Amino acid sequence: MKKLCLAIGLLAVAFAAEAADKKIVFIAGRPSHGPLSHEHRAGCLLLAKSLAGVPGVVTEVHTNGWVSDEKVFEGAAAVVVYSDGGGGHPFLAGNRLQTIGALAAKGVGIGAIHYAVEPTTAKGNKEFQDWIGGCFETFWSVNPHWDGDFTSLPTHEVTTGVKPFKTNDEWYYHMRFRPDMKDVTPILTAVPPIQTVRWKAGDKPSSHGGNEAVYQDAIVKRNPQHVMWVTTRPDGGRGFGFTGGHNHLNWGNENQRKLVGNAILWIAKAAIPAGGVVSQVTQEDLMANLDPKQGAKPKPTPPTNKPAEKPAEKPKP
């Protein structure tokens, strides 16, 4: 009888663990840039709201660049950072690279949005390639504003229900990916306009504006550039990088919002709904929770949408 009770108890624990909600921790960076740009807090809150209707998922949004208590990470299935980057990246302060690295080693998903895909070359570059598959590297990558016209999407779980779309954003490109793109899957790819590289023969390379490598690849050869990607890791974890997100109003684009929402669920190993993450965002929602900033608040305008011919299908198991 005791053995039977023990077996039942262990089974109950196993089922409870299986049924436990997937906990997603958002880390929103400090206020930055002008109104409706780099709205880290408002953007994270919108994404969390978009995921609110997904069964088995819970979200927490932590602001000002880090969590109030690192115990928050206990039981997390994924950590998503949306913040400024470079030397001010929240992951580069103190021993936080080690903290995030320990989570990744346990299989916790790691996602980075916009400037948060950029650590520094000296600190964080290798870790970001390990965790999310690639990163912005100064004197290699560029950060222009342009119309990303995503006319086709790959068949992948994160593109479930997503239609082709077009948005004007600060789409970083020419990322420093893992060698040979190992275990990295491009999700959003487009050919950027020629004027997006501010460099010509004889110029000194610029940290963010252009260099010979990106000039040859994107401008001379006109190779498509990847601005969103997903990856798997040997530790069993998953990651993604999304270089858009400068323009806050683009979260009003249903397909962009759905794509990033799907990616967050995917890195958390949560079930993606059959039609992808479905959410409604009003103009009032877009103008809510904005950081207090100097300057006039631009009038909200609906983001450009490109109609789909056919949504990407969810791959069969």
**How many Å from the N-terminal Cα to the C-terminal Cα in the chain?**
40
pLDDT at position 302 is 52
- pLDDT of amino acid 2: 46
Identify the pLDDT of residue 11.
40
pLDDT of residue 298: 60
- C-alpha 192/C-alpha 27 separation (Å) is 30
Q: Which fold has domain 21-286?
A: Rossmann fold (3.40.50)
The answer to whether 130 and 103 are in contact (CB under 8 A) is no
- Shortest CA distance to 192 belongs to which of 139, 142, 242, 154? 142
Query: What mean pLDDT is predicted for residues 5-12?
Result: 42
User: For 123-136, what is each residue's pLDDT tens digit?
Assistant: 999 999 999 999 99
The neighbouring-strand residues paired with 81 are: 27, 112
Contacts of the segment 11-19: beta carbons below 8 A, 24+ positions apart: 19/56
Report CA-CA distances (Å) from 22 to 25, 173, 267: 10, 31, 10
Task: Look at residue 248 and tell me whether its pLDDT is greater than 80.
Answer: yes
Average of per-residue pLDDT across 195-206:
88
pLDDT over 90, % of the chain: 82
pLDDT at 304 over 90: no
Q: Where are the domains of the chain?
A: 21-286
Distance CA 241, CA 117 (A): 6
DSSP type of residue 122: T
pLDDT score at 305: 53
